[in-house]
Chain A
Amino acid sequence: MSNMEKLVAIYREVLKKPDLELKPELTARDVDNWDSLAHVQIIVEVEKKFGVEFDLDDFLAIRNVGDFFKLLQRYGVEL
């Protein structure tokens, strides 16, 4: 599984949307059960899967999925 596939699987699982397409412009506004708990669960799952630990300020700056891609790359995860 590529890193991108792993990431898509995490979003789909946490948001309970098996067909979710992970586009860079996607935000919490576009998905009905993407609340703060789901937001943190995505981040915690990503931390576990990719062995990184984000600074809180970094993950608060995430406005959409594209921002998260960039953040992951900054933490050394190739997508």
Chain B
Amino acid sequence: MFNGNYPKLQLLNEIFIEKYPFMGSTINNGFTAFGKTWAVEVEELLAAMFATNQQLTKAVDGYVRFAMDVTRRQSRFDDACEYPQKSFNQVADEVYLNDEYMERYYLPGLLLSHMLWPHHYRQSRFFTATFLRDMEVMGAKEFVDAGVGTGFLSRLTLAACPDITGVGFDVSPASKKFAELQVANYKLLDRYQCKLLNLCTQPTKVETDWLISAEVLEHLEDPLSFLQRLRVILRPGGKGFITAALNAAEIDHIYLYRNPIEVQDQLIEAGFTIEQYQSIPAYKPRKINIPTPEVVAFIVT
């Protein structure tokens, strides 16, 4: 599988097998499903973000804890079919403003999930094949990423479009720092800035022709008003890539979307027109009466 070509990926595989045998097939599954392109992307990401063995081991520990937490919450959701009641401020204190939690678990976990969770990886391929390709073809000059998280999509965008500049927003100081680090490690920081802002409550005058907002809606108490604000940020004639997680019980998910139609209806109510969408389940449905977590991505104008 490795042939000496992917030393970081090989180490990642060894850590899983040795330390977390119940995740021992993760890398093999990725290779089988997505092949060499995937392996090259993971290798690059690991080399850029976790250069030393110690950093990689720590990131894997964070990822495993993050993934186990998600799986345990999902298992409880299977019975309740509701997210536990939480306010945005509660989540912000517990997660976004909790640097230790963000740096140890959430951000490394989320970043690795972009490569290691098949539905997350498929969604980033959808982003690359559609939205990012349009940006390249149309010679996009600037973009806004609303809710940068790890900065994964900002970084992909900056890397694909050599003349573009970008602005990211996030309410979490740890996300801002991590996104900037990722962009800097790929030597792209001269074209990017990340700003601390609560996009639901604090005003911004920013406008763009290219808007990204991935996996933020389900983190909010009132995603419709957030979408109405995004509609103002996106200039008429501009294009947006907006995604949401459905039936996915995570520590910071507040608003439960049960199907893609609920997201679609809010997008339309906020004034967007839908060009295309893709919905991807996290795994094969296990039982007909248990909702399967999904990610859904919309390209809107």
Contacts and interface: CB of A to CB of B under 8 A. Distances in A.
Interface of A: 27-29, 34-41, 43-44, 56-57, 59-60, 63
Contacts of B278: none
B65 A57 contact: yes
Contacts of B67: 36
- Would you list the 6 A-B pairs with minimal beta carbon distance, nearest first? A28-B21, A28-B22, A39-B22, A40-B71, A44-B75, A29-B21
Interface string B259-288: 000000000000000000000000100000
The secondary structure that dominates the A interface is helix
Contacts, number: 44
A59 B21 CA distance: 13
A44 B23 contact: no
B25 interface: yes
A36 B22 contact: yes
A36 B23 contact: yes
Given A36-B71, A40-B68, A60-B61, 14 more contacts: A34-B22, A35-B22, A36-B68, A37-B283, A39-B22, A39-B68, A40-B72, A41-B75, A43-B72, A44-B75, A56-B65, A59-B68, A60-B20, A60-B65
Nearest to A30: B21
Interface of B: 17, 20-25, 61, 64-65, 67-69, 71-72, 75-76, 283
A41 B23 CA distance: 14
B119 to A, nearest CB: 14
Contacts of A28: 21-22, 24
Contacts of A40: 68, 71-72, 75
Given A40-B72, A44-B76, A29 B65 contact: no
Nearest to A42: B22
B23 A29 contact: no
Nearest to A37: B71
Contacts of A41: 75
A41 B67 CA distance: 13
Nearest to A45: B75
B68 A56 contact: yes
B116 to A, nearest CB: 11
Given A40-B68, A56-B68, A57-B65, A35 B25 contact: yes
Contacts of B69: 56
A35 B23 contact: yes
Contacts of A57: 65
Contacts of B23: 35-36
Contact of A44 (B20, B25, B61, B72): B72
Contacts of B61: 60
Nearest to A35: B22
Contacts of B24: 28-29
A46 B252 CA distance: 25
Contacts of A38: 22
Contacts of B21: 27-29, 34, 63
Nearest to A57: B65
Contacts of B72: 40, 43-44, 56
A32 to B, nearest CB: 9
